[in-house]
Every structure is written in C-alpha cells, then in structure tokens.
Amino acid sequence: MTGSSAEIEALLFDGNDLNNPTPGMLPAIFRDIVGRLDAAGLAYAVIGRIALALHEQARFVREIEIVVGGDADEHDRIAALARATQARFAAHMDPQLCRLHIVLTLRPSTCSVETQLLAEAITCPWFGVQALLASAEHLLWLWCHTEGPDHAMNASALIVGGTVDLYRVRSLLRTTDDIEESSQRRLRLAIGDAVLSATSSFSRYMAERRIRLDPHYVPLWRRPQAEAAKDND
C-alpha cells in the first residue's frame, strides 16, 4: 500500500523520451477535472489504476477514470465537464495530436452499489489536491462485476495488497450479480491468481535469499553434528 500519489508521478516520467511531456501531464489533467467537479458540487469517486495505488503498489497509468453522481438530466452536464478538460489539454488528450494520449473517462453512476461507492469514497491528497478515491472493496466489486482487459490483473493485485474485505465484496456482488453468477466466478479466479502470485513471489524471495547465503555456512544448532561427522571421518 502506497497511500501517496508520489510513486505514480515518478512512474509518469519517461527518461527515454524527453521530448514527450504527455505522461507527466496526467497530474495537471487530474487536478483540472477534480477542480471542475468540486466547483459543480457533484459527488464523484476516482476508480481505475489511480485509485488502485491508494491500496496497492503504484503502476504506470494513462487513463483517469471517474464515476460521478447525479440525476439523469445531469448526464449532459457531466459530459460537458469532461469536454472542457479535454479542450484545455487537447495537445495531450487528442489521439489525432498525440499518439500515446491521456484518456479521461467520466461517467455517471449506474446502480445502487455505485451510489454507495460515491458515499464511501476516501478523501485524501492526490496529485496536489484533495480528491475522492474509491474504497478497496468497491474497486474489487467493480472489476469483478464488469469485464475489461486488465480487470483480472488489477483485482489480483488488490487482493495481494491485503487491504480488501473479501466478505464485503461478496455481499456487494450478490446484490448485482446475474443468474450465472459470473462476477462471483471472477472473484474466485482473482483470489486464485492472487494466491499463485503471492506463492510465486515468496518462492522467488527464498531462491534469491539462498543465493545470497554462504553455501558453506553451518547454523549454530547444527555445528555439533557437523563436528561429530568430521571426527567420524
């Protein structure tokens, strides 16, 4: 668990391409859209990999994903906020102007669990502003409830981080799951991947530790046995 956006900001700097300032613009774009949401008085919660870093290790990100509360008649207002930020940072967000552009996804909440997600968002300083980030339980619910190319990996990483209440996630999934229980199945797979990942990491750690140890070192408790063996020889 990082509890800070500093690690993400460090990852956004591309030392191999000093002529491309776009990755480093993500914090400024984040501050802009959060400022617009606050000024509009809208409830919101940051999701995706940006929120994942609050509960687990930071990863390189290129997308800002935010769920926003509001009535159906406010959908146009929410879309207008996103367009205003995209217009201000067009050089870094327009795919026609920038090959590896930053993506902003701003969408209204769609169900009662997402309304609860907004109410339980965690307030913390993020990229230099006070922002609202989704809880670990709601992030895992979201990734198991919906399909996405990196959802399984993110869910597994969140579980490995050890900050999520899996029983609470199961309860959330039961309120929104379909007849085939596909999201419950995704949760079980994510738990399995997390266990395998943790086991693999531990095995690598032990292998590296064995390499660092002196192969001729004899623990103190085994020295009498070793000396007796020498005498017998």
Task: Specify burial of residue 50 (Cβ count, 10 A radius: 0-12, 13-18, 19+).
Answer: buried
Q: Are 113 and 176 contacting, i.e. CB atoms less than 8 angstroms apart? A: yes
pLDDT range class, residue 203, cuts 50, 70, 90: low
| Average pLDDT for 34-51 | 95
State the pLDDT at residue 221: 56
State the pLDDT at residue 225: 66
State the pLDDT at residue 114: 92
User: Residue 213 gets which letter from DSSP?
Assistant: S
State the pLDDT at residue 212: 57
The reported pTM is 0.77
Strand partners, 63: 103
CA neighbor of 67 nearest in space, from 85, 83, 87, 82: 82
pLDDT range class, residue 78, cuts 50, 70, 90: very high
- Tell me the average pLDDT of the chain: 83
CA neighbor of 53 nearest in space, from 124, 10, 5, 102: 5
Q: Are 127 and 88 contacting, i.e. CB atoms less than 8 angstroms apart? A: no
Is pLDDT above 90 for 70?
no
* Cα 148 from Cα 145, distance rounded (Å): 10
